[in-house]
Amino acid sequence: MAIPPEIFLLPPGGEGTLQQKIQQVVSESIVSGRCVVGERMPSTRRLAEHLNVARITVTLAYNELVANEYLTSRGRSGYYVADTAPKRPTFDPLATEAQEKVQWGKKFNQKFSAHFEISRPPNWRDYRYPFIYGQSDADLFDHRNWRACALRAVGRRDFDTLATDHYQRDDPMLVEFILRQILPRRGIAAQPQEILITMGSQNALWLVVELLLNRRRKAVIENPGYPGLRQILAPKRCAVEAIDVDHDGLPPDLIPQDADLVFTTPSHHCPTNVTMSLARRQALLDRAARDDFVIVEDDYEFELSFLKSPSPALKSLDQAGAVIYVGSFSKSVFPGLRLGYMVAPEEVIDEARALRSAVLRHPPSHVQRTAAYFLSLGHFDAQLARQSRSFSRRRTVMEACLRKHGLLNSQRGDFGGSSFWLRAPDGVDTSQLAYDLRKDSVLIEPGAAFFAPEKPDRRHYRLAYSSIPSGRIEAGIDLMAERMAATL
Half-sphere exposure of 9 (CA within 13 A, CB side): 5
Q: For the residues 306-334, what does the mean pLDDT come to?
A: 85
Res 121: pLDDT: 86
Using alpha carbons, select from 336, 268, 342 the residue that is nearest to residue 301: 268
In sequence order, the 6+-apart residues with CB closer than 8 A to the CB of 200 are: 328, 330, 337, 338, 339, 340
Domains of the chain in sequence order: 5-81 (1.10.10.10), 124-140+381-487 (3.90.1150.10), 143-377 (3.40.640.10)
* Residue 482 φ then ψ, to 5°: -65, -45
Q: Does 242 have pLDDT greater than 60?
A: yes
Where is average pLDDT lowest: 106-115, 297-306, 398-407, 437-446? 297-306
Q: Does 98 have pLDDT greater than 60?
A: yes
Peptide bond connecting 11 to the previous residue in cis, omega within 30 degrees of 0: no
- Dist. CA 406–CA 131, nearest whole Å: 18
Side by side, the strands of the sheet bearing 340-343 are 195-198, 340-343, 323-328, 294-298, 261-264, 218-223, 239-244
- Residue 397: pLDDT band by 50, 70, 90 thresholds? very high
Q: Does 187 have pLDDT greater than 60?
A: yes
Mean model confidence pLDDT for the chain: 90
Peptide bond connecting 224 to the previous residue in cis, omega within 30 degrees of 0: yes
- Dist. CA 74–CA 198, nearest whole Å: 50
* Residue 443 φ then ψ, to 5°: -115, 125
Work out the number of other CB atoms within 10 angstroms of the CB of residue 220: 24
* Residue 324 φ then ψ, to 5°: -100, 125
Question: 441-473, pLDDT tens digit by residue?
Answer: 999 999 999 999 888 899 999 999 999 999 999
